[in-house]
Amino acid sequence: MIIALLKRRLWLWQNQFLSLLVLFLIFPIAIFSLLDLSMRNIFIQSLGNIPYDQWAFPGIVAIIGSLVIFPPIYRDFFHLRVHGKVLKTVALAPFTKRSMVISFLGIAVLEALIISIGTSILFVNIISTGFTIGDLLILYFFLAILFCLIGNLFISMALWIESATSFLLATFLTYFILVFGSGLIFELNYFPVSLEFILSLFPFSILIKTMHLSLFANIFEWTIIVPLILLIILWSAGNGLLLRKKLIQ
């Protein structure tokens, strides 16, 4: 099934190639200008004495990639489901609901990773990050995990919420917490102790802290990475059950 979905995404890209190309050239530069150029005057260095451009580089790439995940998941799991279009027809195919969720999620994550790789190459030529090819590969590994977490969250919301207004508000809140409350742009240590403790419990924050340790301290917390991967597997299975329930209804 994943091959058919991949062909569909390629067909959509071919039919909108020029507009999407212009969008994904302007979009990263706009995000970079709004976040990095403004924040570097406030946060010159991280609390670990890492130059802000270098420290914020993984976060900006992650934000851009996470924004790419939303449109296909919204279209496939919310818009088409609510309006009774393609998703119900696809559900008649001889595939388990879990494999359907994994296929849709996999294509969205792959698309986000491709955009993230292009964005990182663009940024490396704009700012001095000091990242080697090995560092970039580590970054892409953590981004894949992050995108799977975000994608599963969006799929759960798209299957659970029936109102478009509520879904968009929940999405806005998710991005707000991801950008400002997970450690992507500035460290959680800047928050009050009680709020820092609450934010540090979110899976996004745990993963991002682990990513920073791997990139800037060469410390790989496999005891954190493996449970997060298991969480993704279980979450995908749970979304498959939720999809089955919604299609039965």
CA 97/CA 239 separation, integer angstroms: 8
| Higher-scoring residue by pLDDT: 106, 13 | 106
pLDDT, averaged across the chain: 81
Percent of the chain exceeding pLDDT 90 equals 29
CA 207/CA 216 separation, integer angstroms: 14
The pair of structure tokens assigned to 106 is: 């996999």
CA 213/CA 220 separation, integer angstroms: 7
pLDDT in tens, 75-113: 888 877 776 665 555 656 666 778 888 888 998 899 899
pLDDT in tens, 111-168: 899 889 988 888 887 777 778 889 999 999 999 999 999 999 999 999 898 888 899 9
Contact 76, 5 (CB under 8 A): no
Runs of H (alpha helix) within 16-132: 17-39, 52-73, 80-82, 86-90, 97-124
Quick one: pLDDT at residue 171? 93
Quick one: pLDDT at residue 47? 66
pTM over 0.95: no
Contact 111, 72 (CB under 8 A): yes
218 torsion bin: left (phi>0), alpha (psi -120 to 50), beta (else) = left
CA 67/CA 77 separation, integer angstroms: 16
* Span between the terminal Cα atoms of the chain, in Å: 23
2-6, 63-67, 126-130, 188-192: least confidently modelled range: 2-6
